[in-house]
Amino acid sequence: MRQADRAHLRLPAGRAGGLAGSVGSVRERWDIMFKRIVSTLFASVFLAGLFGLVGTTAACNTIHGAGQDIEQGGAKIKEEANERR
């Protein structure tokens, strides 16, 4: 394989033991790609959890108010049912 044909196989600087521009094995390239995918996935899950936590904390009063409304609605239905007996 010619040098020009291997240009797309070169690892970024700082990879492969500090030998910038050296051709890495398929295993090294796969490891790097896997680590990038996993780190991106973990960051995404962390941020989604963080935003979810912030969202539920901010909506706490709204959920509490909705619970009270549902409770009042249930009480009205119960009263109506007792009157119809």
Q: Are 29 and 9 in contact (CB under 8 A)?
A: yes
Q: Which of 1, 51, 46, 47 is nearest to 23 (CA)?
A: 1
How confident is the model at residue 36, as a pLDDT?
Answer: 93
How confident is the model at residue 7, as a pLDDT?
Answer: 59
Task: State the Cα–Cα distance between residues 85 and 79, nearest whole angstrom.
Answer: 10
pLDDT in tens, the chain (85 residues): 566 566 566 655 555 555 555 557 888 889 999 999 999 999 999 998 888 877 766 665 667 777 888 888 899 888 888 888 7
How confident is the model at residue 51, as a pLDDT?
Answer: 85
How confident is the model at residue 57, as a pLDDT?
Answer: 65
How confident is the model at residue 53, as a pLDDT?
Answer: 77
How confident is the model at residue 5, as a pLDDT?
Answer: 62
How confident is the model at residue 72, as a pLDDT?
Answer: 87
